[in-house]
Structure 1
Amino acid sequence: MEKLLALALAGACSTAAAQTPANNPMPDGSRDMYVGLGVASAPVYEGADERREQALPVLQAAWSNGVFISGLSAGMHLSNQPSLEFGPLLAVQRRRSEKGLSDDIGAVFSGTGHTIVRDPSPNKAGMVVNRLTGVDVQHTRLQAGGFLNYYLTPQLRVTNTLLYGSGNGRNGALWRVGLQHIGADLGPHHFVSVGVGATLANRSHNQAFFGISADEAVRSINPEYAAGGGLKDIHATARWNWSFSPSWLLVTGVQATRLRGSAADSPLTERPTNLTVSTALAYRF
């Protein structure tokens, strides 16, 4: 289960919110669960220059029938082959308003988090600039799709997730592909995993989150911009687990993301390269 949790707390990172945990065979009728509390530092929205530091609840669970909950996603492992994982997947696309992404990063249940948002930096004229002012709110959406992972070795796997339903039109699609090394013991009770990946998006998703319509251009400081589909970002992750007792675990993750293509060229993008850092203390039931 340590490997599973090492891959799950990337829920604080939008590009990994639907990442599927490794399958963990267990006796029939059993389950494995972690709950905890952590903190994350992340951009206010994808491409933002400003950052948000936020407390967040953590929940991850897996059952012997293959069902799992991991961050903002849930799914089911259907394969009995140790080298192949596949199944259906549901994930929440977080709401984006003038204040940025919604506060519930890393959580799959309602909770009150303490959020600190830094004041926007002034521009050269000394005026505070918020590029999301006047831009349509993108409402919370439930995305549906599936995952397919293949193990090249017991520790190295190729991951694929495909999700549909993002954006106000519910017609945005995201395909995430990655390569993960999910097992490296640095010593007693210490475990590290690393990975690289890319996200491809269709035009509807990129237009919803990076495009500017004619009406939005009138209401905001942004020029009209038509976003296209294709490569949206590339990213690299590293995660460290420290099991300092059979029940308590400290999990820390770092993800570097660089926007590409239409996402990087969008007038909403202030910083195409950004870093997300999260750490959490979790208790195993």
Structure 2
Amino acid sequence: MRTAFSSHRSRPLVATLIGAVVCGVIGLATPVSAIAASSTTTDHELGSQIRLHEPVARAAVAPAGAAATVSGIDVSSYQGNVNWSSLWSQGKRFAYVKATEGTGYTNPYFAQQYNGSYAVGMVRGAYHFAVPDRSSGAAQAGYFVSNGGGWSRDGKTLPGVVDLEYNPYGATCYGKSQSAMASWIRDFTGTYRTRTGRDVVIYTSTSWWSQCVGNTAFAGTNPLWVARYASSPGTLPYNWSVWTFWQYSSSPIDQDYFNGAADRLKVLANG
């Protein structure tokens, strides 16, 4: 089992090969179609595909004006049962937890991670790994809200996040044109707002967004969580002038900043 401080990467191909070998050893006949279908429930964490495609500076760095930021983390099933008290003692004050992927995967550790972070005093939220070529934005937003991605005005629950990054299963942009991808995102964001009353946070990298979405603006409605593993967030995706969250490192666990003081983080939580 991986801990909160273990190295973590998504390895769907390795998992598939190991599964095939095990089935062969115990004498089970596994159809190729079944193996292929299993990839729909592979767990991919926030930024796992960005780190495969973009430069990564491994050292954790603090942004300029770090005194005006709040430190946090994001986790998925790879961290298993997290020691939240330890992370709190290290100064982490918010957490995002993977809830869902597509319309067929839920994080088996979600309850421990989501409730545990809340219990130690963190402001917490949930995220969804989008797979835009598998089903509609509305379908995935609905699945997310129904499986942990909802919101409540309790002062400690952040709006949900849609994770938009390189396709782990195939073509970078999921076989969609920029206009089609923008439409899919609008379908997701609109549905999430209808279901929760909140605007979902968009997690992405500038490079992926420029290639797959282009010059469609979501900055007027959706907060930005930018992924860039360097000493600064750099150039932001189209039309965003400010970042709300920044994932700046994946070592020894995904490291994030909120762009503001603790009281502003609570304002975001309260809507």
- Whether these two folds match at TM > 0.5 is no
Larger Rg: 1
Structure whose residues are more often helix by fraction: 2
TM-score by length of 2: 0.30
TM-score by length of 1: 0.29
Q: State the structure with bigger RCO (CA 8 A, min sep 6), 1 or 2.
A: 2
